[in-house]
Amino acid sequence: MDMANHGAGLVAKEIKLAFGGLQVLNNVSVSFPPGVITGLIGPNGAGKTSFFNCLTGLYRPNSGDISLDGRALKGVSASRRARLGISRTFQHVALSPELSVAENVQFGLHASRKSGLADALLPLPSAWSDREESRHKAIEALSLVGLSHLADVPAGGVAPGTLRLVELARAMVGRPRVLLLDEPAAGLNSSETKDLVQTLRQIASRELVMVVVEHDMDLIMQICDVINVLNFGTLIAAGTPAEVQANPLVAEVYLGAADD
């Protein structure tokens, strides 16, 4: 059986999610193959973050199936999914200000493996080599985003725009199979956004599934191979940047949002 090509990457089928009477996701089916940068766009409240939460196991959909490389994820916990290689950044930066930048990045390692964070941060002699290794990996991940020089600075003293890149390093440190980015450019100025585009292009690889949720259309159009458009929990369009840009339904949704 050719598992390599059958359902490779992250696949969601007919995902439904409701909170009380509110239908947040309505039959969303979408595939995120490796080696492709996929955009997920849509107006505020469309369900983009909720969809990420379903993929990572934070939310349990009311129905539908999610699989990673052909493996069904139903009933698989969020921490287990992290260990399977599903990694994400958060729309609202979630870092500990009192810990150093490197220590914050090390958190990402512990999402992706069994031993606890304490093993890597506490000064136990038995954990020394583990600790060194995890610091080494954190610095490697920081180099990926051009921030290794900030390794020992407390995260609380780092500019908000830069913290977005620290988040990215935290998400990459465990060498994930899947990278889900929730508004990575939020709060970045235009030169920081340019740098981010460069960094994301460097991170992209044939093996990596990359999904970008973003309101910055320039970034989306520049970086994505394929774009999916959500509106009120329904996928209304999918295609190349040019196709999506030319889609009248998409224009209508965005014009409608701009009118509010």
Ligand X SMILES: Nc1ncnc2c1ncn2[C@@H]1O[C@H](COP(=O)(O)OP(=O)(O)OP(=O)(O)O)[C@@H](O)[C@H]1O
Name the site residues for ligand X (rule: CB under 6 A): 19, 22, 24, 42, 44-50, 91
Nearest distance from C-beta of residue 47 to Mg ion, angstroms:
8
CB under 5 to 8 A by kind: which of ligand X, Mg ion, none does 50 bind? ligand X
Nearest distance from C-beta of residue 153 to ligand X, angstroms:
29
Q: Give the total of residues touching Mg ion (CB under 5 A).
A: 3
Tell me whether residue 24 or residue 169 sits nearer to ligand X (CB atom): 24
Tell me whether residue 27 or residue 91 sits nearer to Mg ion (CB atom): 91
CB under 5 to 8 A by kind: which of ligand X, Mg ion, none does 161 bind? none
Nearest distance from C-beta of residue 212 to ligand X, angstroms:
13
CB under 5 to 8 A by kind: which of ligand X, Mg ion, none does 24 bind? ligand X
Residues in the chain, total: 260
Nearest to 226 by CA among 32, 12, 8, 27: 32
Residues 85 and 176: their CA atoms lie apart, in Å, by 4
Judged by CB under 5 A, which stretch of 9-17, 49-57, 123-131, 229-237 contacts Mg ion?
49-57
Tell me whether residue 176 or residue 233 sits nearer to ligand X (CB atom): 233
Judged by CB under 5 A, which stretch of 41-49, 120-128, 158-166, 248-256 contacts Mg ion?
41-49
Tell me the residue nearest to Mg ion as measured from the CB. Answer: 49
Residue 35 CB coordination number (10 Å): 14
Of the candidate residues 11, 39, 40, 49, the single one contacting Mg ion (CB under 5 A): 49
CB under 5 to 8 A by kind: which of Mg ion, ligand X, none does 199 bind? none
Nearest to 146 by CA among 181, 180, 179, 195: 195
Tell me whether residue 5 or residue 44 sits nearer to ligand X (CB atom): 44
21 DSSP 8-state letter: T
Nearest distance from C-beta of residue 89 to Mg ion, angstroms:
12
In what side-by-side order are the strands of the sheet with 234-239?
A: 86-88, 178-182, 209-213, 37-41, 226-231, 234-239
Residues 102 and 152: their CA atoms lie apart, in Å, by 6
Region of 87 please: left (phi>0), alpha (psi -120 to 50) or beta.
beta
Residues 230 and 115: their CA atoms lie apart, in Å, by 38
Nearest to 180 by CA among 103, 113, 86: 86
- For binding to Mg ion (CB under 5 A), which residues are involved? 48-49, 91
